[in-house]
Structure 1
């Protein structure tokens, strides 16, 4: 118990430290590059963790890709978005954002998620909820193209659509802070990488204790993936909530949807290569319950961002769906 407490305290400290350095980098490079850098950094390390579990060939490892990425989508689209909307609305009455940029990100996330996790359930070339190798290669290429499209749209072609709306008090009431120097930015970048690695390693150290706890309550094995995904996504969660408090809900959406897209668009190509090299058959197709949650989440997300503003009610709806997802994952 004492070891779990120490690991938990160290994890929280690593998360808070990573958020601090991520904010320095974001201030230096500006938005939307800041949120994009944090999303990619966390996802790349998450991909490495998933790949190590996949190559271990432990029981249930063939489904770790599906369970981890699906958990990430549920966490970012319902958990992070829900908390950010609720806190932002409580402080500012309602949150304002640009639906055009969020619509682009959400459409790309819906498409990539469908290709990766919905269609394998209904293909007939294999008996299980998985792709053949040619089908997996095609899905991997498509997911990667969709992610590259998102990065191009966010940073070059339609950059203005992903920037938080500017209010009068932002111009006249806020203090101007000098940009960090190049030296400080480089140091912060290296420190961010180190702290994110620490987050992943600490989460991995906590995983056996989490697994014991999951077994003790008789929950399915995929709950372990959900809890680890929650730990890994802590830096993005803290940053998204901070942005919502500052009335920059657009940045919170960029983090949430961008993290989901990065998780699908970067992980699926990597595991497709590993599947080909090591002859691993991946279980990608979602079951009926998960398909319902995925469909409900995307429908609610479209409704939430369609008007360009949201109140606390939308935040509560997303959090209720997230709570139901967690509850039914523990007792399916």
Structure 2
């Protein structure tokens, strides 16, 4: 009963009621309130995924959180692609690229900065970081760099056989990463405080089932509200003569907000390993699961999906990946690494607004 009366269950139900009542289609004030409902619904989804995660233990908890957030991202991208047709052929690339940049520079940068500010130096398993970064580099190059240089189709596109090959490659890499994280090298991803006995406390079967139900309820309304508000967001951006690429950044930021908060809280509690598990796992899931889903939609609906980045974006992405690799190479961090990554993030946003 206490769970049913919490805001994490009430807000998604209010959001569903607002959606079916046509509340979201009113004036700017109502759209602002709908945006608030959207953000809190995202946070509700993550809250319920965390409850489930406590039952299954680490590192499964961070995996569930990453997959839940990626499910939101994939659903929004696919809904925009299907409804927008070829006019939305770059939304997948823009959102995935934005999510990758926000995770590598924003979430990791803030965690390193806040952790370094409070504890001067934090330690983590460099083996886990290496596994995550190697997987990210391979997937990033396959999905967002190679399409700009292939010659089967003119432009930054993949042909259908290439899309199928890259999708299978992404799934294989992500599956092997999960195997390493959960079984073969699970110890790399655990903190000293993690223990099997702490993972199953106070989570009854009833609470678990309710959390599963409301996780689905929250995910569903997030998809519907984001799709409804995307046109309003795009209209605002166009009215200020800003590039449409900002739509992808805003969508990615909303999706990653609760996960970023969870990672920052872990860093403040001197659990940087948990923060990195969330960040790197989310980056992998964001690309490795989104691109195969986008490929299926593009083939089924015969849509030409732009995946390749331009040279400027490739350089920014390479700078971000290279900086993160150097920052996490030693297994110890400090405030300098965080500041450099945050500067990379500001450079990315600034160059989107002033290309």
Superposition TM-score, scaled by structure 1 size: 0.92
Following the alignment from structure 1 to structure 2, what is the Cα–Cα distance between the partners of residues 307 and 281?
42
Secondary structure of the 2:206 match is: helix
Deviation digits for residues 95-119 of structure 1, max 9, x if unmatched?
2211101110111011011001111
Contact 1:19 / 1:238 at 8 angstroms: preserved in 2? no
Following the alignment from structure 1 to structure 2, what is the Cα–Cα distance between the partners of residues 133 and 177?
45
Residue aligning to 1:265: 288
Given the alignment, which residue of 313, 317, 322 partners 1:290?
313
CA gap of 1:199–1:84, structure 2 versus 1, over 3 A, is farther
Residue aligning to 2:274: 251
Residue aligning to 1:309: 332
Aligned residue runs from structure 1 range 164-243, under 5 A? 164-166=191-193, 178-243=201-266
Aligned residue runs from structure 1 range 31-110, under 5 A? 31-58=58-85, 60-110=87-137
Contact 1:45 / 1:200 at 8 angstroms: preserved in 2? yes
Following the alignment from structure 2 to structure 1, what is the Cα–Cα distance between the partners of residues 228 and 122?
38
- CA-atom RMSD, angstroms? 2.1
CA gap of 1:267–1:18, structure 2 versus 1, over 3 A, is closer
Residue aligning to 2:185: 158
Residue aligning to 2:38: 11
Contact 2:109 / 2:339 at 8 angstroms: preserved in 1? yes
Following the alignment from structure 1 to structure 2, what is the Cα–Cα distance between the partners of residues 194 and 243?
27
CA gap of 1:271–1:11, structure 2 versus 1, over 3 A, is closer
Following the alignment from structure 1 to structure 2, what is the Cα–Cα distance between the partners of residues 125 and 176?
50
Secondary structure of the 2:90 match is: helix
Following the alignment from structure 1 to structure 2, what is the Cα–Cα distance between the partners of residues 219 and 298?
27
Between Structure 1 and Structure 2, how many residues are aligned?
Answer: 326
Following the alignment from structure 1 to structure 2, what is the Cα–Cα distance between the partners of residues 54 and 12?
22
Contact 2:139 / 2:288 at 8 angstroms: preserved in 1? yes
Contact 1:83 / 1:319 at 8 angstroms: preserved in 2? yes
Residue aligning to 1:148: 175
CA gap of 1:86–1:10, structure 2 versus 1, over 3 A, is same
5+ long unaligned stretches in structure 2: 1-27
Residue aligning to 1:274: 297
**How far apart are 1:157 and its partner, in Å?**
1.1
**How far apart are 1:213 and its partner, in Å?**
2.1
**How far apart are 1:276 and its partner, in Å?**
1.9
Following the alignment from structure 2 to structure 1, what is the Cα–Cα distance between the partners of residues 56 and 229?
34
Contact 1:67 / 1:226 at 8 angstroms: preserved in 2? yes
5+ long unaligned stretches in structure 1: none
Following the alignment from structure 1 to structure 2, what is the Cα–Cα distance between the partners of residues 16 and 42?
10
Superposition TM-score, scaled by structure 2 size: 0.86
